[in-house]
């Protein structure tokens, strides 16, 4: 999207009275994004992003706020929430929970170069280290059980070939949990670090945004999400130099285990499956909104099929199918 909920000047003046950010100067809806309503808000003291949470389990919101605050406190560049005058991070706008976060400089890149990927690798490794001291946790809201439920919801929308692929991959991923994924390092991960969720200023990461799928899962899953989006184009062509640059920077700060290397082809498939399933749901069951932006599911179907034939190795080469 996406602006699902229209916010007025009056709404904002009322909201800003609870923060020490001066007076409202300007605001506008942000068309990018899928899940939440976002507005850029400028005040006399700074620039902010207002997010209205549209479809979230509200019980998770304090977790996201604490995570963003924790990472910012550990020097990981990212969106972090602004505290209200009463010390809390959450407000309410138009009956939705809402948060003001610092607006980061820079812009996302659609065609990342090796230098962008290297900078990102360093930041993701720092993030994976900083979460070791983060005490909160929540399960992945888009885990395999969610995917299996999505597949059931989609039953009468899918052709037989597509349904078979989904069923087969779900079954394979179930088997992996107690086999290839056993013992992989886990912690709180971002879980949605696509190119549009990372801003760059002069080829260096200025900040990571959109922590609203953050959850406890395999660190390797974060890397697989990144590899699928950053190192493959929509036609499915692999750009190994991007991934090598990422891994060179990442591995220097957190060396990957043998088990992670072995699990990599399966994890790339898991990440492709997760976003294929959620995009299919968004495509077949779109939410209402003023400006909506739906992602095409088909690149992830292609990627999943390609990974099932031959997935790239964690260090950037091409390995035979596992």
Ligand X SMILES: N[C@@H](CCOP(=O)(O)O)C(=O)O
Ligand Y SMILES: Nc1ncnc2c1ncn2[C@@H]1O[C@H](COP(=O)(O)OP(=O)(O)O)[C@@H](O)[C@H]1O
- The residues binding ligand X (CB under 6 A) are 33-35, 192, 194, 210, 275, 278-279, 295
CB of 37 to ligand Y, least distance (A): 7
CB of 18 to ligand Y, least distance (A): 19
Q: Is residue 87 a contact partner of residue 215, using CB atoms and an 8 Å limit?
A: no
Q: Does 35 bind ligand Y (CB under 6 A)?
A: yes
CB of 297 to ligand X, least distance (A): 8
Using CB under 6 A as the criterion, what x/- string covers residues 203-232 for binding ligand Y? Answer: ------xx-x--------------------
Residues 6+ apart with CB under 8 A from 8: none
* The dihedral sign for the CA sequence 155, 161, 162, 167: positive
Residue from 79, 223, 224, 304 that binds ligand Y (CB under 6 A)?
79
* The dihedral sign for the CA sequence 294, 232, 103, 97: positive
Give the integer Cα–Cα distance in Å for 93 and 265. Answer: 43
- Could you count the other beta carbons within 10 Å of the beta carbon of residue 72? 18
Q: Does 245 bind ligand Y (CB under 6 A)?
A: no
Using CB under 6 A as the criterion, what x/- string covers residues 145-184 for binding ligand Y? Answer: ----------------------------------------
Q: Does 30 bind ligand Y (CB under 6 A)?
A: yes
Residue from 7, 34, 93, 249 that binds ligand Y (CB under 6 A)?
34
Give the integer Cα–Cα distance in Å for 64 and 70. Answer: 10
50's enclosing H/E stretch is strand 46-52
Identify which of residues 108 and 257 has a Cβ nearer to ligand X in the complex.
108
CB of 248 to ligand Y, least distance (A): 27
Identify which of residues 218 and 275 has a Cβ nearer to ligand X in the complex.
275
Identify which of residues 261 and 295 has a Cβ nearer to ligand X in the complex.
295
CA distances from 185 to 17, 74, 90, 215, 220 (A): 44, 20, 31, 14, 8
Q: Does 101 bind ligand Y (CB under 6 A)?
A: yes
Q: Is residue 43 a contact partner of residue 22, using CB atoms and an 8 Å limit?
A: yes
Residue 140 contacts which entry, ligand X, ligand Y, none (Cβ below 5-8 A, type-dependent): none
Q: Is residue 37 a contact partner of residue 54, using CB atoms and an 8 Å limit?
A: yes
Q: Which two tokens stand for residue 109?
A: 């890149």
CB of 80 to ligand Y, least distance (A): 8
DSSP line for 19-44:
SSS--EEEEEE----SSSEEEEEEET
CB of 209 to ligand Y, least distance (A): 4
Residues 6+ apart with CB under 8 A from 54: 4, 5, 35, 36, 37, 96, 287
Residue 228 contacts which entry, ligand X, ligand Y, none (Cβ below 5-8 A, type-dependent): none
Return residues touching ligand Y (CB under 6 A). Answer: 2, 30, 32-36, 38, 49, 79, 101-104, 196-197, 209-210, 212
């Amino acid at each position: 999207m996406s602006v699902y909920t229209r916010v007025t000047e009056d709404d904002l003046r009322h909201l800003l009275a609870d923060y020490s950010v001066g007076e409202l100067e300007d605001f506008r809806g942000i068309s990018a994004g899928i899940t939440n309503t976002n507005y850029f808000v400028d005040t006399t003291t700074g620039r902010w992003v207002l997010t209205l949470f549209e479809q979230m389990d509200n019980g998770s919101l304090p977790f996201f706020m604490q995570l963003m605050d924790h990472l910012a406190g550990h020097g990981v560049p990212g969106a972090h929430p602004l505290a209200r005058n009463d010390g809390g991070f959450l407000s309410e706008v138009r009956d939705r929970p809402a948060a003001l976060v610092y607006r980061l400089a820079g812009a996302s890149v659609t065609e990342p170069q090796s230098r962008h990927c290297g900078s990102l690798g360093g930041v993701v490794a720092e993030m994976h280290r900083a979460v070791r001291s983060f005490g909160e946790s929540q399960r992945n809201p888009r885990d395999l059980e969610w995917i299996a439920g999505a597949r059931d919801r989609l039953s009468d929308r899918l052709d037989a070939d597509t349904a078979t692929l989904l069923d087969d991959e779900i079954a394979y991923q179930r088997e992996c949990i107690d086999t290839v994924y056993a013992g992989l390092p886990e912690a709180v991960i971002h879980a949605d670090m696509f190119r549009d969720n990372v801003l760059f200023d002069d080829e260096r990461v200025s900040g990571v945004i959109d922590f609203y799928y953050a959850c406890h899962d395999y660190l390797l899953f974060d890397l697989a999400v990144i590899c699928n989006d950053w190192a493959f184009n929509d036609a499915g062509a692999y750009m190994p130099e991007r991934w090598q640059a990422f891994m060179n920077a990442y591995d220097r700060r957190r060396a990957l285990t043998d088990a992670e290397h072995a699990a990599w082809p399966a994890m790339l498939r898991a990440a492709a499956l997760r976003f294929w399933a959620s995009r299919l749901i968004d495509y077949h069951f779109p939410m209402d909104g003023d400006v909506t932006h739906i992602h095409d599911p088909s690149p992830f179907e292609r990627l999943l099929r390609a990974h099932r034939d031959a997935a790239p190795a964690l260090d950037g080469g091409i390995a035979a199918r596992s």
